[in-house]
Structure 1
Amino acid sequence: MATNSFCTSNHILVGLGGTGGKILKAFKMRMFEEFPTQEERSKQPVALLYVDSTDEMMSKDGRARADFRVMGQDASFTNNEFLNIKAVDVEHILDHIDHYPSVKGIVENVGAVKSAIGSLGQAAGQKRRAGRLLFAANAVGYVNSLRDAYSRCINVSGDSSETTIHIFAGLSGGTGSGSIIDAIIQTRKAFPNAYISVYAMMPEMNLPKSDMDQGRYYQNGYAALNELNALQAGAWKPQDVTGGGEADYYSDRVKGVANGLTIYSNVNENGLTINSFTELPKVISDYLFARIFFVNDSDQVNSDIVRAYKYENMDDFALEYDEAGNPDPITGRIPVARTKKVNSIGIKRVMYPELRVLKHITYTIGESVLYQFKYNNWRENQGFANEERNRDYRNDFINKENLANWMLDEEHLTLEKKILPSDNDFMAFNEYWHDKAINYAQDAKKADCPLNELDNIMGDSFANFFRDCGVENYYAGKEKAIPDMAKEIRHTVETGFFEKWKDGDISITELQKISKLLIERVSEIRTELEATTKDEIEEYKAIDEDRKANLKEWSDLGILQRMVNVGERKYARHQEYLTEFYTSKTRLVALEFAKKLAAKVFNELGKMDADISAFGMKINEAINETERLVTAQRKVNKGLEDMKGAIIEVSEDETMSEFEQELRCDKIEMPIIARQLRDCILPEEFVNFGRLAADISIDDITDAFDIKLSEIVKARHDEKADSDKKVLGLNILTQLQQKLRTDDDIKAFATKIVSQSGVFVQLNTDQIQLHLRNNEGNLSPTNPASINKKAILVSIPSPDDNPGLKKFADKLEAAFKNSFNQSTARTTITVNRKSLRKDELSIITVQYCFPIRAIDWMGDYKKRYERFLNTGNLATDQANAILLHSEGDGSQLPSLFARSDEEIKAAEEAYRAQQAAAQQPQAAQPYAQAAQPFAQPAQPQATQPYAQPQAAQPVAAPGAGTPPPPSGAAVPPPFTPPMPDPVIALYWNINGQNYGPYDWAACKQMAANKQFTEQSMVWMDGMPAWAPAGQVEILKPLFAPAMPPAMPPMPGGATPPPMPGGMPPTM
């Protein structure tokens, strides 16, 4: 089923550490599932960057990882998708700290840091400070890798106007947790206009493995959340590891450095616990996959969920102000303590598992094909059986005809017939010597004794001319080629075996049996050769006696007898004797050779048998793996009977099994399918079974299933399956309609789904409802818009122009809309009836706008964190603080939880005292003493988050309640109030970046500090364009020359009052 994509903007996924890597792995494998061709994937403007201090998730030696294979393809991370930050060792960094100026700023005491961190292995070892040091040393590399990922996206989209960067990390370890702060900062620094979303996994309350906690698991999580909160609240500016000084990248526009935080755990709000190693990364990946590819941001129906996951419409409630803070004396602004641009997510997929069904059918048929490979035992109503068939293999295969074809008969072993293709074809021994006897008979008659002459001629041929070199020389020379001949015989046998197996005529188990029987037969042949040699020796001796006797008889004949028929008969008989004599003499030499060759062949066939067994083992392993794959594709949840899981399957596995049974029992189709798979798996050229076993991997076989067999299955399904028997290409609505037969069933389904479609975090109601000082009015929990909101998007596929299905979908939509309440969170639910995913109904949930303190497990984390830092041993506590925090000891961060009542009370008392003092009349003081310096941050004010000023406090009327002057004192002249400051909202442009707005007091102080000059480019409402500050009339007093000092007082006299509206005198 083709996947439609709504991804039009650029998306970069950054995975930090093992947790981030697992999410990227799940995401990339889903990419290969949904977009199975490289052409489809290359059209998606999505890039990945995996950052870690270990390469354990990377391919080794260029070989594909089995756990990254998807339907026959390798989804492993590529080299440009990976940044290894362990290239520089932490100890080396600390020993040469001056060589790392960007790192030096985060190491106040090298000795203390080095002592605390100790030695590291292959990763950061749950030491956050070590993780940060590793990242800091490679921060430039990170930025370069990020830019490379961005370039890959731009090359696809051709549009740089919108980029979203998703950063994933677990907070419990060392690498991801230690590097997350710098990753956010450097990402914002490199991409100031990008949308940055951070996904942080909290520590599991109940660990899936007992050895996961090395003593800092929960403490790391709390420290990381504390730092993330401080960074996002603008209350902490860590060192910039790619520059100098503080990294001040807080933006008032986004109310943070990143646009927001997504925090999740392995337990959802309804108490469902999932495996954090295997299931949780897939849940996060599925959510992100839906967000990027399936939710159309431009479609109004998705607007609520889009605003929720983009943290939009939260600016008025994005920050929580310090309940123990007081207004700044100059700006009137209250410090921020916490961010509320936090959300958590969940996704529930009610789906017809088409991919699982296709895989189950594919692997089931593949298993049957492997049974053919192994046993080739067809049974009616069962198909290829998983057992061998009974057969007389010796009679059927180890016969004279096959032995001759395999060159294991005596004629080949004695080289009466050639073995090597390069050798010449020669006559049989008897034919050769018969021809010699006939051809040289006339020449021999010229001699006095033609019998001896013919014997001498043939003896000379035996010694020097047989096959051009003489019998003994020939076989002596051929002994050097015995290894090649043995291999040639093996190759002939093995190739024949392979061709029969390839054609499906014989199984690998049968080949193993035949191979062993053949070895047994060769052993018998070796014994037979010994017996034949003995018999041939006796035959040779008998023929030699006959030869000698015939020669004597001819010698005893008189001259006349020799000239008549008696002599001719003796001569003709002697030719026969010589033919038999030299044939036997040649055979004796040849038989000795044959025994040596047979011994070598025996060894070669033994090797062949071992190779066939190795290939048989490979088939067995493939069967075991396929059985595992079939099991893995079985339905693992109870469907609609248990809807707690993240994925709910609605399927009829009985119909699937019926289709599988029909296909694997098709006596015509299955052999064809088996042959097609063999052709797909096997190399073009066969060498031997050993090479075959080495070259063909289990992955090759399963890849053939995924690529070739799955296509065959789909084609056969489309040909065979009737409309009511289809198991592929089904609409989830059809499946649900079959299950939910009444209106009550539909309502119960919708209610249960919505109630269990929770986000993967649990919130503490007491913390949600907590009323805090400085957060009153619209910021208090009494305003439901200020905290804990939830958006639910239900995506339903279209009903395929089916009126009955449309009616069912209408009822389903109504049931969903009536299935939620507002008891715990302000919830909006939207039903999208235009989903393009026919096989899936999804429920995406986003709960947002709450402070981190509201997460239920945070109280427990805090206790563990505080115990870890307060052991009673100062040195231990200092070292622990270094390990937990990426910078400093944590004391520089605002409180993650609300301050104690005592702290708040003290703050209130201090504020009242300040206000009371402000209401008391003050004696005239020189301006230099009265004026307080304006604490200007390192960056322009616009980057600093502040609360709105407190309401102005009432000031007593002039003279009200003022005691009379002391007796005899000079009466001061009447008080003339100073002119009020102009009310302005001024914007300032520095190097192309706009800052502001600034009020008069801020401008005045910056002008006094020479930060704001007449040449500064400014703009405010009413100005037609940007202009130098010195040219703006209302601003000119800021740059006016200072008033000259007043005359000193006359001795004993009063000091004249200042000029009305003038500056107070300076001392």
Structure 2
Amino acid sequence: MNPNHMIIGLGGTGGKIIRAVRKTIFQEFRSLNPEDVSIGYLYIDSSDELMRLDDPTWKILGQSVQLGPNSQLHIRCSNLSSILENLTNYPGIRPWIGDRAIWNDILGGIVGDAIGGQKRRLGRFLFANHATEFCDRLTSQVRELQAGGETSVTFHVCTGLAGGTGSGTILDVLCQIRRLYPDSLQYRIIGYLLLPEEHPKPNWNTGNYHANGYAALAELNALSIGKFVPCNIAGDGGKMTGLQTPFNGAYLFTTHNENGLALSVDDIPNVVADFLYQKIVTVRKVNWASLARQENAENGDGMPETIPGTNVGVRSKRWLAFGVKRIAVPEEEIAEYLAYQFARQAALQLRYNNWSETEGYLPNAKNVDLMSYVSAPEQLERWLLSDEHLLLSSPVLEADGTQGRWQPIGRYWTTVTGAFKQDIEEREEGAKWLDSLKGRLELRFSDQYRGHGVKAFYQTVSASARERAREIRQKLERELFGNWRDGARSVHEISGLVGSVITYLRNRSERFDDDVAKAKAQEEALSKKLKDQEKEWAKVGVISDMFGKRKRLFDICALTLQDLYACRTRIEGWQFAKKFTPVLLEEITQLKAELDRSSAMIAEAVKNFEEQIAERCVEDSSQVDYRQQIIRFYDPELVRIVTRRLTKDAREQLTQTQRVRSALVALLGDKLDFRTFNERINKTTFLDVLENQCMENAKISHNNLIESTKERLIGVSIIDKLRDRYGDRQALRLFIDGIVKAAGNYLIFNPDEIKRSAPGINPAAQICVSNFTVILPKAPEAEDFVKMLREIFWECVQTTAREFLDGSKPNEIILTSVTNLFPLRVVQLLSFLRARYLERVNGQNPARARMELHIEGDGQSLPSLFLPSRGELQERIAPYLLLGMALGLIAGRENERGAQELAMLTKDEFGFETPLFLEGATIPEALANIPEPKALTLEEAVGKQLADPEIRRDPKRNELTQKVVSLVNDLVRQLPPTDPRGKSLPDWGRKAVKLLRGEG
């Protein structure tokens, strides 16, 4: 089958069908590009209601399937009056546009940009202004389709016939496609035409609703048989006389199927979309040759019904009807329901990590005393947030602690003081010990502490405060990210923990001034203590020195100096901490912001997953709803029960959430932190990772834990499910009978018209040829049940042409019915549409009505869609019968029975005259009895006479006019006063006179 397809939607109905097609494809594949088939789209409308990129009606399963701008053609136009004033500049419009005065009335009622508004010619007017753009868009899309190597393309043109836009553009769209792609075998064109509802929604019928449908069908019928040749609106306006097979076939459909199933007009696009899906996508793997033959009228006599006695076609048989229904286990939807439940669990673990044995991961946080945890000394030490780190008493950067240069402040001064003291005692005189120690310690404090001196050191490290703050943040973040990666903590808990760190640091920084004040008070006390000790030192004499007093006093002074310089250093440290902590808070706050960003994104994902879950597996399966296009054959409650069991399995959820975390971490490379997480994983990426990973997780979990075949949700066969539910033949038959009836044609036929026999109808040609196709999956393990299933389908399907095809998907059965090779007269709705059409064209303003309804001309020259009734035949032939009498073509002759009968002399193929008896001795009798073939022969003979220019000139014309008038008056006088023909004869006479004048 052809892999290239172009779906063209005209007007609102066409747009809705395209929308439904794209939704169907996405629902089946979770992509708009199924394998092995290329599909292009072009939506044309005078309203942009369905064209907006943010239109929510194009969403399916949370995703938008809206068309791109290159697949939309908005045929708006606000300068129609200007065009009418300058028609010479618009050759594609001028030949057919019609009466300017009528247009002034039409356009006078339009405010702003014009839309079709149930006026077919207005719809064409709008399209004509964009016809070249349409052709360019079309050829561009076809080139894209053909880029795959296959040149053939099937065009599917979808519209409703009640409105102005779709109904007004359908003929031109068909003709322009065929003009650009004339090979009807390589480029097949199929129409999909929604007929007007007999009882439309309130306010839908603004005057032409039903009449539009009839006018469009009349023109399409004439186009199909070559009796209507439109102007080329994309060119010079000339007639497109060279078109062959403007369309291969056209499906007609309504909201009611032949078996009484009634749908809303809003549901019909889904039906058409599913039929298109089967024809375009399913057919890739199914040998469905019968459908292609039907669509090209190759399964019977596709020749039109003719004028009796001629080969001139009048009623095309290129029409089709269809029905379609699917029975399916919605495996993709079930798998997605499982996957989204797993994804929700994974997202909740990432965000809250709050497990419940009865519910799985909960959508709320655990209650934890994070402040106590954060302020514990061991945590502060590990995260470099202790006072010693804030004072830079302990190293922060890796380089701070190299070669043992850094020691805590207290230890440092203890070590330095002890070393100095020992050296002094060994090298210097006792009286100089204290001064020497004070000098060395002061020098160390002012110039040598950590290579700079205390004040200089803190001034130096202040310049690198940002680097040290980042180091602390990174150390904290590495640990916490590792906790999150391993599933030990949730992002919400980590965010709360970091928030507690921020609170701790803020509270701690508020006490720094107190720490400085305490340190200064301690410094003052130590300084006073040292002075007192120095006084004692000065009193040491020779004798007391001999008894060890100097040594003991030196030890005491050294301890005081040690504490004093440690205190002075801490004062500088606290001053540094006051400046450093805001920088550190800024870094930690940035970390908190990254965590909150991650948490918010995960929260959005949870909401998204919950929305996706809410859209799936929600039906009530207790009753079969035959109105649904896809009969979804499964138990939603079983799906929910099994899913709950899987999501509450602690071991399975621990494993599957770890897989999700690993998949996310793999995207980060070597930078395992929350900033990188946010930079590399946006919401779309996060959703994609969880959806894909959890789809795999759900299937693994399902296959590992669900052992019972009756509980299995994925990888099940529709055959098995039918066998489980309908083991009883009678129950299965009731179900199948309902499905078969629901798959009936969405077009009701008139059985009397189908049976009708008349001249021009080939009695050997079958009409309304139907074929019912059932596409069943192979199920060798259920051979007996499949055999019974086929038998029941055979019993329920009423058509004689039935076929079973092998399907490629084990979870669905497809039923289609297609009827073709019928003229429009057999469509039951057509009589109603004609009646509404005649009301419009015979109303108060027939000229305007005809111009609004027909895209060219007034429609009076179009072939009739019905076989003529006796009354219609009388109306048509009476003027010609009167003219035949006036012209002398008809006279009374003796028939084979010896009775007088009106007859017309005709000549056979050799030129011999032969009387054609008209089935009556008088004009009224002949009109009542003349067969259609004889009537048409009479019409043709009189027409040839009228073509003689001499007859149209005076005095011959006046002479014939008087004969007609005299004949009519004589006939009227012969009739009783109550005979209705007394009123009809003058009307027929007037029509005869108009024919003489060339006005007929």
Fold match, TM over 0.5?
yes
Name the SS for the 2:650 alignment partner: coil
In structure 2, the residue matched to 1:43 is 36
User: Is this contact kept in 1: 2:256–2:262, CA < 8 A?
Assistant: yes
Name the SS for the 2:796 alignment partner: coil
User: Is this contact kept in 2: 1:746–1:811, CA < 8 A?
Assistant: no
Structure 1: where are the runs of 5+ without partners? 1-6, 822-826, 923-950, 962-1000, 1006-1067
- Equivalent-residue separation in structure 1 for 2:678 and 2:35 (angstroms): 35
Amino acid at match of 2:190: S
In structure 1, the residue matched to 2:387 is 410
In structure 2, the residue matched to 1:791 is 771
In structure 2, the residue matched to 1:258 is 247
2:732 to 746, 749, 761: 746
Amino acid at match of 2:192: Y
Does residue 708 (structure 1) correspond to residue 693 (structure 2)? The answer is yes
Does residue 830 (structure 1) correspond to residue 802 (structure 2)? The answer is yes
Deviation of 1:348 (Å): 0.6
Describe the superposition over 1:82-102 as per-residue Cα deviations: whole angstroms up to 9, x where unpaired. Answer: 254569976799499777654
In structure 2, the residue matched to 1:931 is none
Deviation of 1:185 (Å): 1.2
Describe the superposition over 1:300-332 as per-residue Cα deviations: whole angstroms up to 9, x where unpaired. Answer: xx56544434443465554576xxxx99xxxx7
In structure 1, the residue matched to 2:881 is 912
Does residue 625 (structure 1) correspond to residue 602 (structure 2)? The answer is no
1:806 to 737, 758, 783: 783
In structure 2, the residue matched to 1:684 is 668
In structure 1, the residue matched to 2:274 is 286
Deviation of 1:674 (Å): 0.7
Residue pairs, 1:520-669, within 5 angstroms = 520-557=503-540, 565-602=548-585, 605-606=588-589, 608-609=591-592, 611-636=594-619, 638=621, 641-653=624-636, 656-657=639-640, 659-669=642-652
In structure 2, relative to structure 1, the CA distance for the partners of 1:544 and 1:25 (3 Å cut) is farther
In structure 2, the residue matched to 1:847 is 819
Does residue 196 (structure 1) correspond to residue 189 (structure 2)? The answer is yes
Amino acid at match of 1:908: I
User: Is this contact kept in 1: 2:668–2:680, CA < 8 A?
Assistant: no
Q: TM-score normalised to the size of structure 1?
A: 0.71
Describe the superposition over 1:856-876 as per-residue Cα deviations: whole angstroms up to 9, x where unpaired. Answer: 6667777887888999689xx
Deviation of 1:670 (Å): 1.6
In structure 1, the residue matched to 2:960 is none
In structure 2, relative to structure 1, the CA distance for the partners of 1:453 and 1:684 (3 Å cut) is same
Deviation of 1:842 (Å): 1.5
In structure 2, relative to structure 1, the CA distance for the partners of 1:314 and 1:163 (3 Å cut) is farther
2:408 to 405, 411, 428: 428
- Equivalent-residue separation in structure 1 for 2:474 and 2:57 (angstroms): 33
In structure 1, the residue matched to 2:996 is none
2:7 to 13, 35, 48: 13
Name the SS for the 2:800 alignment partner: strand
- Equivalent-residue separation in structure 1 for 2:66 and 2:914 (angstroms): 80
User: Is this contact kept in 1: 2:286–2:807, CA < 8 A?
Assistant: no
Does residue 183 (structure 1) correspond to residue 207 (structure 2)? The answer is no
In structure 2, relative to structure 1, the CA distance for the partners of 1:70 and 1:751 (3 Å cut) is closer
Deviation of 1:660 (Å): 2.8
In structure 2, the residue matched to 1:948 is none
Describe the superposition over 1:410-451 as per-residue Cα deviations: whole angstroms up to 9, x where unpaired. Answer: 122223334456867643333444455466666896999664
In structure 2, the residue matched to 1:776 is 758
Report the identity percentage: 25
Residue pairs, 1:722-737, within 5 angstroms = 722=707, 724-725=709-710, 726-737=712-723
- Equivalent-residue separation in structure 2 for 1:504 and 1:439 (angstroms): 51
In structure 2, relative to structure 1, the CA distance for the partners of 1:897 and 1:355 (3 Å cut) is same
Deviation of 1:540 (Å): 1.9
Structure 2: where are the runs of 5+ without partners? 892-902, 916-942, 948-1000
Name the SS for the 2:785 alignment partner: helix
Name the SS for the 2:237 alignment partner: coil
- Equivalent-residue separation in structure 2 for 1:869 and 1:448 (angstroms): 135
Describe the superposition over 1:442-496 as per-residue Cα deviations: whole angstroms up to 9, x where unpaired. Answer: 6896999664565455445545554555444544555565566555544443443
Does residue 234 (structure 1) correspond to residue 226 (structure 2)? The answer is yes
User: Is this contact kept in 2: 1:305–1:793, CA < 8 A?
Assistant: no
Does residue 376 (structure 1) correspond to residue 327 (structure 2)? The answer is no
In structure 2, relative to structure 1, the CA distance for the partners of 1:36 and 1:621 (3 Å cut) is closer
Count of residue correspondences: 890
- Equivalent-residue separation in structure 2 for 1:456 and 1:721 (angstroms): 84
- Equivalent-residue separation in structure 2 for 1:744 and 1:631 (angstroms): 36
Does residue 758 (structure 1) correspond to residue 744 (structure 2)? The answer is yes
User: Is this contact kept in 2: 1:376–1:506, CA < 8 A?
Assistant: yes
Deviation of 1:188 (Å): 0.5
Deviation of 1:398 (Å): 4.6
In structure 2, relative to structure 1, the CA distance for the partners of 1:818 and 1:705 (3 Å cut) is same
Task: Report the aligned-residue RMSD.
Answer: 5.0
Name the SS for the 1:832 alignment partner: strand
In structure 2, relative to structure 1, the CA distance for the partners of 1:417 and 1:296 (3 Å cut) is closer
In structure 2, the residue matched to 1:342 is 319
Residue pairs, 1:84-163, within 5 angstroms = 84=73, 94=83, 102=92, 112=103, 115=107, 132=124, 135-156=127-148, 158-160=149-151, 162-163=152-153
In structure 2, relative to structure 1, the CA distance for the partners of 1:959 and 1:517 (3 Å cut) is closer
In structure 2, relative to structure 1, the CA distance for the partners of 1:92 and 1:651 (3 Å cut) is same
Residue pairs, 1:332-481, within 5 angstroms = 336=314, 339-380=316-357, 382-396=359-373, 398-419=375-396, 426-434=406-414, 437=417, 451=434, 454-455=437-438, 458-459=441-442, 461-476=444-459, 478-479=461-462
- Equivalent-residue separation in structure 2 for 1:817 and 1:109 (angstroms): 58
User: Is this contact kept in 1: 2:481–2:672, CA < 8 A?
Assistant: no
User: Is this contact kept in 2: 1:853–1:896, CA < 8 A?
Assistant: yes
Describe the superposition over 1:774-794 as per-residue Cα deviations: whole angstroms up to 9, x where unpaired. Answer: x824639xx696654433212
In structure 2, relative to structure 1, the CA distance for the partners of 1:117 and 1:612 (3 Å cut) is farther
- Equivalent-residue separation in structure 1 for 2:380 and 2:634 (angstroms): 56
- Equivalent-residue separation in structure 1 for 2:862 and 2:480 (angstroms): 76
Deviation of 1:376 (Å): 2.3
Amino acid at match of 1:684: L
Deviation of 1:187 (Å): 0.9
User: Is this contact kept in 1: 2:160–2:166, CA < 8 A?
Assistant: yes
Deviation of 1:31 (Å): 4.7
Describe the superposition over 1:146-172 as per-residue Cα deviations: whole angstroms up to 9, x where unpaired. Answer: 34444444443x454x54221223456
User: Is this contact kept in 2: 1:185–1:247, CA < 8 A?
Assistant: no
Amino acid at match of 1:703: D
User: Is this contact kept in 2: 1:317–1:779, CA < 8 A?
Assistant: no
User: Is this contact kept in 2: 1:639–1:648, CA < 8 A?
Assistant: no
User: Is this contact kept in 1: 2:302–2:318, CA < 8 A?
Assistant: no
Residue pairs, 1:54-93, within 5 angstroms = 82-84=71-73
- Equivalent-residue separation in structure 2 for 1:273 and 1:422 (angstroms): 82
